[in-house]
């Protein structure tokens, strides 16, 4: 069994956003899968996907704050500055967090840990709409 | 062909641990696969999985030391401090290393490079037991 | 449908290299896949794979420059120094960027964003030839 769908995310402010619910709502057919894998690719180079803590908004703020310190805007070593001060740091942050996630499917849904949620990380000030390609494969649910 | 199994890892001290043998011992059925993929997800947000050098314990110590310097405990910018000084840095380290690995299967086992081993990175002082969901798919071994 | 092939990359200088074309040329059979996944693993611990901006060489230079600053050579905290000053930083950089990529396949090719390209990151001064295992699975193209 294969499923593939494009998920469109509306523009979000710069920061780390919890999107588990939005991803699952876009993929109701996951309920038909028994054992499988769900792959998500964000088709951009200044936004990223990761898994992390799904309860405290502080964790998302602190992750963003760490990224801003580790990859500072306006540093003298940046040469790719044509698209704005936030652009090149956004590329580095996207590489650090990664453009994709692969999740196990079990009994019709992603087998995440209790505290795990899907983060969409918007690294640009005005990144605009973002596109994610979701691809699932697996055995039919008994 | 699909295989899915939960692997329970006993509590380990904070640090980087080589677990290739433990993963393979938990999945004897991998021998039945010809070409395929093995996916591992750690169901936690303060521990992570990566691949790196399987020979020198120094590499694991130095990776841990780098993470401790790059993501310092007790920094004034952390706001999520309720669960201890090691908690929020552990979330950031887990995001940097990543929660999952996907490995190619070939002739019944992961096609790793000579020097590659699976690292379980325990980022908390007392992280407790850790759970990994292993999912394999592939063609039968001829 | 399954496809697996070893791709040999000639030695490249230290730095970030765009290899999308080289990967696709090595895998002409991807055209037979409809919906699927393509997985790439670099079988080394001091080189890495990621996706990022495919247009500006400045982005690749700036990513390399950031990595060199974030993971400095010759720092006093490194203990694994036997294989040269560039070796242990290369292991850390490889862990940060990651050893593998999984990409969605759609209508016979990877469904990348307009600006996304595959980066082979060579973190060593003289890393030599590098090997990537490509594994594809999917449904036949209608």
Chain A neighbors of B100, CB-CB under 8 A? 51, 101-103
Reading phi first (left if > 0) and then psi (alpha if -120 to 50, else beta), residue C122 is in beta
- Tokens 């090595």 correspond to C26
| Residues C79, B70: C-beta atoms closer than 8 Å | no
> How far is the CA of C131 from the CAs of A95, C47, C100, C105, C127, in angstroms?
21, 10, 12, 22, 11
A95, C139: Cβ pair inside 8 Å?
no
Residue keyed to tokens 């995310």: A9
Longest dimension (CA), chain C: 58
Count of pairs with CB atoms under 8 A, one residue in A, one in C: 90
Q: Which chains touch C (3 or more CB pairs under 8 A)?
A: A, B
Is the CB of residue C56 less than 8 Å from the CB of residue A80?
yes
Q: Which of A78, A91, A133 sits opposite C104 (nearest CB)?
A: A133
Number of B/C CB contacts below 8 angstroms equals: 90
Q: Answer yes or no: do C77 and B96 touch at CB < 8 A.
A: no
CA–CA separation, C38 and C51 (whole Å): 13
Residue-level pLDDT at C81: 94
Closest to C72 measured CA to CA, from C92, C44, C49, C45? C92
pLDDT at C23: 98
In this predicted structure, what is the pLDDT of residue A43?
98
Q: Which candidate, B122, B117, B94, places its Cα nearest to that of B10? A: B122
Interface test mutation site (partner B, options A1, A41, A52, A53, max chain B beta carbons within 10 A): A53
Helix residue ranges, H only, B5-129: 20-25, 57-70, 87-97
Q: What angle do CA A51, A63, B102 make, to 5 degrees?
A: 30
DSSP assignment letter at C28: G
| Cβ <8 Å between A39 and C104 | yes
pLDDT in tens, chain B (142 residues): 999 999 999 999 999 999 999 999 999 999 999 999 999 999 999 999 999 999 999 999 999 999 999 999 999 999 999 999 999 999 999 999 999 999 999 999 999 999 999 999 999 999 999 999 999 999 999 8
Contact state of B135 with A61 under an 8 Å Cβ cutoff: no
Q: Do B44 and A111 touch (CB under 8 A)?
A: no
Residue A70: its chain C contacts at CB < 8 A?
A: 70
pLDDT of residue A128: 97
Q: What is the pLDDT of residues A13-52, one digit of tens each?
A: 999 999 999 999 999 999 999 999 999 999 999 999 999 9
Q: Which chains touch B (3 or more CB pairs under 8 A)?
A: A, C
Examine the predicted complex and report whether its ipTM is higher than 0.95: yes
Report the alpha-carbon distance of residue B117 to residue A45 in Å, rounded: 29
Place of tokens 């521990």: B47
Cβ distance C133 to B106 less than 8 Å, yes or no, reads yes
pLDDT of residue A10: 98
Containing H/E element for A45? none
How does pLDDT run across C45-81, given as a tens digit for each residue? 999 999 999 999 999 999 999 999 999 999 999 999 9
pLDDT of residue C94: 98
Q: From its phi and psi, is residue A98 left (phi > 0), alpha (psi between -120 and 50) or beta?
A: left
C111/A43 Cβ within 8 A? yes
Distance from CA of B58 to the nearest CA of A (A): 23
Chain C residues within 8 A of B37 when measuring between CB atoms: 37, 39, 135, 137
B112 min Cα distance to partner chain C (Å): 6
Query: Within chain A, which residues score under 70 in pLDDT?
Result: none
């Amino acid at each position: 069994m294969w499923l593939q769908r494009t998920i469109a995310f509306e523009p979000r402010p710069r920061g780390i956003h919890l999107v588990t619910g939005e991803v699952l709502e876009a993929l109701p057919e996951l309920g038909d899968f028994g054992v499988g894998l769900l792959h998500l690719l964000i088709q951009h180079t200044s936004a990223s996907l990761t898994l992390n803590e799904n309860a405290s908004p502080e964790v998302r703020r602190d992750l963003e704050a760490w990224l801003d310190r580790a990859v500072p805007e306006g540093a003298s070593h940046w040469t790719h500055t044509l698209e704005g001060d936030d652009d090149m740091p956004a590329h580095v942050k996207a590489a650090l967090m990664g453009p994709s996630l692969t999740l196990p499917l079990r009994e019709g849904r992603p087998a995440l840990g209790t505290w795990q949620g899907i983060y969409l990380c918007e690294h640009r000030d005005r990144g605009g709409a973002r596109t994610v390609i979701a691809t699932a494969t697996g055995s039919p649910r008994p």
